[in-house]
Structure formats: C-alpha cells, structure tokens
C-alpha cells in the first residue's frame, strides 16, 4: 500500500454516533480512526505507520479529528453493551468503516446497536433460589438452508440463584437450567422407596412444538 504524501491536504473529520434502535446520540463512545495508507517515510509494516487516533464522543454524541490527510481511512465506534451495526445487517454497498477524506466529506454518522441481555433467577420446587445451577443459552442458527440449535454459553448461578448473559445479538433464544448434579462419584439422593430423586433440566420456553416461541432479544 502506498504512503500518504507529506504535502497531502488535511481536513477536519466530524460526525456523531447514534443508537441504531432509538436514533439517540451516544455519549462517551470510543471512535477510532486509522489511515488506510501508511504515513510518509514509513515502510507500512507497523501498526503505528497508519496513524491510529482515538477520541470519545461528547455529551451530544459528537466527535472530531483534526488535521487528517486526504486519503482513505477506517472509522469505527465502540462502547460497552453496544455492537457495530454492520455485523447485524450489512449490505453489499455498506462502507463497513471505510471512508475517503477530502473537501466533499461531510459529517459522518456511525451507528451502534444496543446489545441485549437475558437474566433471571433459578429456583427449586419450594421457590427458594438454587445456587450452583448451570444455565445454558441456545438459539436456532440458519446454515446451508436449514436451522440447527446452537449452544452459545453456560454460566453457573450465584448464591442468590441469579444468572446473566450479556452482549447478545438480536435473535430468538432458549434458556436451559439444570441443578448441580455433583461429581459422578457422589451417591444420588433417594426417596423413602429407594428411588433416585433430583431435578431434571428445564427449558424456557418449553418445547411444545416445532416452532415453539423462544426468548426474543432486540
């Protein structure tokens, strides 16, 4: 890749970061700019050769970069509990963070999608919180023209029986909870008749049909 000429015109790059769901401006979002071409006098083999800059948006979601050469740049925003929108609904002509800086460059609008979360409490038959229970998250994932149930992550409930999954993409999810069964060397609990007793995994929503409803995140 060619280096940016030393005498290349320089411009101020301005824009704002918006919540893609509400269209509200996002303050304190990190916006990173790096040039697509290496700086003059560099060999283009180091990360520093591409002049990475980072600023935070102000209370109105605005950002500014000064003295940016007339060249192609990569421009991306990030913030905790948000994700880049192009990963959710990118189109063939989306810039995907690539922009050309020049006299005609206007204000740039970057969108972030709020990441979803699922949380709750696992309780036993008496309604008491169940600690150390395993909670798994699943969702149907389309692949090669068909759907398959994909396991995403598992967490163990806290002492108060609570669990939480964060940073989830929009979609339909199933939550499966099962009590801690102990090690395989432990003797199972038994009732008065000597039959082994315990809890079986519980799926929410329950699987009542081929298209059973699931937890929907937006």
Least confident interval from 4-8, 27-31, 70-74, 155-159: 4-8
Are residue 14 and residue 110 in the same domain, yes or no? Answer: yes
Which of 91, 114, 137 is the endpoint of a domain?
Answer: 114
Residue 53 domain flag: yes
Show the domain range for 80: 10-114
Which of 72, 91, 114 is the endpoint of a domain?
Answer: 114
Are residue 129 and residue 110 in the same domain, yes or no? Answer: no
Q: Is the pLDDT of residue 27 over 90?
A: yes
Higher pLDDT, 195 or 19: 19
Task: Give per-residue pLDDT as tens, 88-143.
Answer: 666 666 666 788 888 888 999 999 988 888 999 999 888 999 898 899 998 877 77
Task: Give per-residue pLDDT as tens, 143-186.
Answer: 777 777 788 889 999 999 999 998 887 778 889 998 876 655 56
CATH number, domain containing residue 98: 2.60.40.10
Residues in the chain: 218
In 79-168, DSSP assigns E strands to 82-84, 98-100, 108-114, 116-121, 134-143, 146-156, 162-168
* pLDDT for res 198: 67
Closest to 165 in 3D by CA, of 120, 212, 112: 120
Q: How far apart are CA 110 and CA 84, in angstroms?
A: 9
List the structure tokens of 102. Answer: 């020049």
Residue 2 domain flag: no
Q: Which long-range contacts (CB under 8 A, 24 or more apart) does 139-148 make?
A: 139/171, 139/172, 139/173, 139/174, 139/214, 140/172, 140/214
Provide mean pLDDT across the span 25-53. Answer: 72
Task: Give per-residue pLDDT as tens, 57-70.
Answer: 999 999 999 988 88
What is the secondary structure of 110-134 as a DSSP string? Answer: EEEEEPEEEEEE-B-TTS-B-TT-E
Which of 95, 114, 133 is the endpoint of a domain?
Answer: 114
Domain total in the chain: 2
pTM equals: 0.60
Are residue 162 and residue 86 in the same domain, yes or no? Answer: no
Are residue 88 and residue 125 in the same domain, yes or no? Answer: no
Are residue 38 and residue 120 in the same domain, yes or no? Answer: no
How many percent of the chain have pLDDT more than 90?
31
Are residue 72 and residue 147 in the same domain, yes or no? Answer: no
Are residue 129 and residue 34 in the same domain, yes or no? Answer: no
Are residue 124 and residue 108 in the same domain, yes or no? Answer: no
Are residue 69 and residue 93 in the same domain, yes or no? Answer: yes
């Amino acid at each position: 890749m060619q280096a940016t000429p030393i005498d290349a015109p320089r411009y101020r790059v301005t824009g704002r970061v918006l919540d893609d769901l509400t269209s509200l401006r996002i303050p304190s979002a990190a916006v990173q700019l790096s040039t697509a071409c290496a700086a003059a006098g560099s060999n283009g083999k180091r990360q520093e050769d591409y002049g990475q800059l980072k600023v935070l948006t102000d209370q109105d979601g605005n950002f500014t970069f000064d003295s940016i050469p007339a060249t192609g740049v990569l421009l991306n925003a990030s913030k905790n509990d948000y994700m880049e929108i192009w990963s959710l609904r990118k189109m063939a002509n989306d810039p995907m963070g690539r922009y050309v800086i020049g006299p005609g460059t206007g204000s740039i609008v970057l969108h972030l999608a709020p990441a979803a979360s699922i949380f709750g409490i696992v309780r036993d038959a008496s309604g008491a919180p169940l600690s150390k229970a395993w909670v798994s998250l699943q969702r149907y994932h389309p692949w090669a023209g068909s759907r398959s149930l994909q396991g995403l992550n598992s967490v163990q409930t806290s002492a108060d029986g609570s669990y939480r999954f964060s940073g989830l993409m929009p979609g339909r999810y199933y939550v499966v909870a099962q009590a801690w069964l102990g090690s395989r060397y432990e003797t199972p609990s038994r009732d008065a008749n000597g039959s082994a007793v315990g809890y079986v995994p519980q799926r929410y929503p329950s699987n009542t049909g081929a298209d059973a409803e699931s937890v929907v995140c937006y």
